[in-house]
Chain A
Amino acid sequence: AQSVTQLDSHVSVSEGTPVLLRCNYSSSYSPSLFWYVQHPNKGLQLLLKYTSAATLVKGINGFEAEFKKSETSFHLTKPSAHMSDAAEYFCVVTPPHYGGSQGNLIFGKGTKLSVKP
């Protein structure tokens, strides 16, 4: 069985300071992992994806995430927050093969990121 836990429902940072959004997963298989961002009144947009290639994955807008199998984590980071990063972020886990319930996609409950001037 798979699951994903986003440890913080809300994170607040000051502009220019680092961002850390935490995600832990549980999977019977070597998973694929994704981070999505949702700005207000918009759909979810893919930030980055891990699919068993390099463990450090770079995404759009300066975000990156590191897959750590020993810690079953896939935390999202950015060195310096920008006001435009304020949004909700979702971590998603899926096994490498398709099929099954939920389409194999398990969404975390989301982390709202606030950026203070």
Chain B
Amino acid sequence: DAGVIQSPRHEVTEMGQEVTLRCKPISGHNSLFWYRQTMMRGLELLIYFNNNVPIDDSGMPEDRFSAKMPNASFSTLKIQPSEPRDSAVYFCASRRQGGSYNSPLHFGNGTRLTVT
């Protein structure tokens, strides 16, 4: 089990640039979550997918943020244009969801984004 894989681990970019964060969930997991973590706001859910379909994107801050899941093994979170206030650690997590039991979330190691 390779775990949830995120790339890059660190991203430093200038304001206005496009940023793309990538995530490969654990094989067999059908739910994928994107979270953002900052000192000020803690852990925030941005969006989550079930079976590649976005279910709840109410946490996406604004239109500059978009997320896709073209297949069961890959998701991207894009910020265009980026702003300094987007600086945070972005986590991807996956789980097997369904039936009467919710399996726990498995988190990647995160992407630390710095926008200057």
Residues of B contacting A110 in the complex (Cβ-Cβ under 8 angstroms): 42-43
Does B28 count as interface, using CB distance less than 8 angstroms? Answer: no
Q: Contact: B105 with A44, CB < 8 Å?
A: yes
Q: Let me know if B56 is at the binding interface, CB within 8 A.
A: yes
Chain B residues near A3 (CB-CB < 8 A): none
In the complex, which residue of chain A has the Cβ closest to the Cβ of B59?
A102
With beta carbons under 8 angstroms apart, the residue of B42, B98, B105 that contacts A109 is B42
Q: Number of A residues contacting the other chain (C-beta, 8 Å)?
A: 28
Q: A32-B102, A96-B101, A109-B42 are in contact. Are A44 and B91 (CB under 8 A)?
A: yes
A96, A105, A107, most chain B CB atoms within 10 A: A105
Give the residues in chain A near B48, CB-CB below 8 Å: 102-103
Considering the complex, give the chain A residue whose CB is closest to the CB of B108: A43
Chain B residues near A109 (CB-CB < 8 A): 42
Bound CA span A46–B33, Å: 16
Q: How far is the CA of A58 from the CA of B71 in the complex (A)?
A: 36
Chain A residue nearest to B109 in the complex (CB): A43
Give residues of chain A (55-106) contacting chain B, Cβ–Cβ below 8 Å: 90, 92, 94-105
B45 touches A43 (CB 8 A): no
Q: Closest Cβ of chain B: how far from A36's Cβ, in Å?
A: 8
Residues of A within 8 A of B56 (CB): 100-103
Q: Are B43 and A43 in contact (CB under 8 A)?
A: no
Q: In the bound complex, do residue B107 and residue A103 qualify as a contact, i.e. CB atoms below 8 Å apart?
A: no
Contact of B107 among A45, A98, A104 (CB under 8 A): A45
Chain B interface residues (CB < 8 Å from chain A)? 4, 31, 33, 42-43, 45, 48, 50, 55-56, 58, 91, 93, 97-102, 104-110, 112
* A residues apposed to B, CB below 8 Å: 32, 34, 36, 41-46, 49, 51, 90, 92, 94-105, 107, 109-110
A-B contact list, 9 entries, CB within 8 Å? A36-B107, A43-B4, A43-B91, A43-B108, A96-B101, A102-B48, A102-B56, A103-B45, A104-B102
